[in-house]
Amino acid sequence: MARIQSVAPDLLHSGLDKVISMATKDVKLVSAQYVSPATSKEYYYKILAAGGFQVATQLDEAAGINFQDFQVPFRKTTTFQKYAMGWSLSNETEEADYYQLMKQRAKDLAMAVEKAYEYDCASFLNLATNSGFTSIDGVSFANVGHPILNGTFSNILSGSNLGLNPTSLAAAIAQLQIQPEYSGGMPYMNTMTVDLLVPPALSDQAHRIVRSSQIALTGNNDDNYVGSQIRNIIVNPLFAAQYGGSDTAWMIVSTDKENNPMLSIKRGGLSTDVWADKDRQVMKHSASRLWRNQPTLGNGIVYSAGA
């Protein structure tokens, strides 16, 4: 008599969590192009803003040195947030997976967590002016009143020309270049190039402005100086109005990593788990990850709501 045996794939039971964790190894996240990454295994992550010293003054012969205290004007302790997704299926379904559809389901489960991370990172632009999305100095990430030692400064594009065009982009870069640090001096930046963050609706406009050899959208033949200041154009679908963003808002961010205020802190990688609900004869699978995105200070970006 012939032996009858079901075809069992290599994804049964505890093996599926391995597939879930492997599913995102080749995934390239858009957010990796613009956030400033950090890692920590602690429950808390402390962020300190160094105020620095004021600009050194000329010292006459035999005169005393001006001593100052090192300033830490702003600090914040953040806790990590967990994002998770689960999936359960009966033993009968899992054992009958002839076409290995679970492999795709496993990838979808892992991507549910990665998509949550992408949505959260998109908040740096989408929620830039939201009063609930604050830098560690206590005001919204994009704000006209970021506090410094002797006043405030703005990282929102000034003037009425707010739509993305060669003139407004040049003005934003100039505004970024003179942003003061807390003590009043200009923060040291290793480069004066920037990345340009735009939604898909502005992608064509951005590439026309940046990639043209002459100044785009004009009738003159002047060299496109502003285009040479842009390192990358970062187009993120999650910046679009359809996903809670805006089809007109855009932002520039310094390419100097030390001056990128979009801090993304991860606590470990993608975590997977599998367990059996024996009463129901169901296998349960989960994927989770801990992170926290936090704007540090207002330096390093200029935001425009567009027009």
> Is residue 7 in some structural domain?
no
pLDDT, position 257: 83
> Is residue 274 in some structural domain?
yes
| Dihedral (Cα; 173, 175, 177, 180), 10-degree rounding | -150
Q: What is the DSSP letter of 214?
A: B
Query: With left for phi above 0 and alpha for psi between -120 and 50, is residue 268 left, alpha or beta?
Result: left
Q: How many domains does the chain have?
A: 1
> Is residue 111 in some structural domain?
yes
Assess whether pLDDT exceeds 90 at residue 201: yes
Assess whether pLDDT exceeds 50 at residue 10: no
> Is 274 in contact with 100 (CB distance < 8 Å)?
no
Please state, in angstroms and rounded to a whole number, the distance separating the CA atoms of residues 251 and 298.
12
The mean pLDDT value for 236-265 works out to 93
Q: What is the DSSP letter of 102?
A: H
Stretch (H or E) spanning 235: strand 230-235
Enumerate the β-bridge partners of residue 37.
264
Domain range for 166 is: 13-54+71-304
Which pair of tokens denotes residue 202?
């502005």
What band does 1 get if pLDDT is binned at 50, 70 and 90? very low
Please state, in angstroms and rounded to a whole number, the distance separating the CA atoms of residues 99 and 91.
16
> Is residue 266 in some structural domain?
yes
Cα torsion 180, 183, 184, 187: sign: negative
> Is residue 76 in some structural domain?
yes
Assess whether pLDDT exceeds 60 at residue 15: no
113-117, 160-164, 204-208, 274-278: segment of lowest average pLDDT: 274-278
Write the pLDDT tens digit of every residue in 40-76. 877 767 777 767 777 777 888 888 887 777 667 787 8
Which pair of tokens denotes residue 36?
């400033």
Pairing outcome for strands 194-198 and 230-235: parallel
> Is 49 in contact with 298 (CB distance < 8 Å)?
no
Spell 10-33 as b/e; 16+ CB within 10 A means b: ebeeeebbebbbebbeeeeebbee
pLDDT, position 70: 67
> Is residue 62 in some structural domain?
no
Radius of gyration in angstroms for the set of CA atoms belonging to the chain, rounded to a whole number: 25
Which pair of tokens denotes residue 121?
């990172």
> Is residue 4 in some structural domain?
no
Which pair of tokens denotes residue 90?
């009966």
pLDDT, position 116: 94
- Give the mean pLDDT of the chain: 82
Please state, in angstroms and rounded to a whole number, the distance separating the CA atoms of residues 213 and 159.
27
Please state, in angstroms and rounded to a whole number, the distance separating the CA atoms of residues 204 and 84.
36
85-89, 113-117, 258-262, 264-268: segment of lowest average pLDDT: 85-89
Q: How many of the other CB atoms lie within 10 Å of CB of 168?
A: 21
Q: Kindly report the CATH number assigned to the domain that includes residue 27.
A: 3.90.1690.10
> Is residue 59 in some structural domain?
no
* Furthest CA-CA distance within the chain: 107
Cα torsion 257, 70, 133, 241: sign: negative
Assess whether pLDDT exceeds 70 at residue 163: yes
Write the pLDDT tens digit of every residue in 121-145. 999 999 999 999 999 999 999 999 9
Assess whether pLDDT exceeds 60 at residue 9: no
What band does 264 get if pLDDT is binned at 50, 70 and 90? very high
Query: With left for phi above 0 and alpha for psi between -120 and 50, is residue 31 left, alpha or beta?
Result: alpha
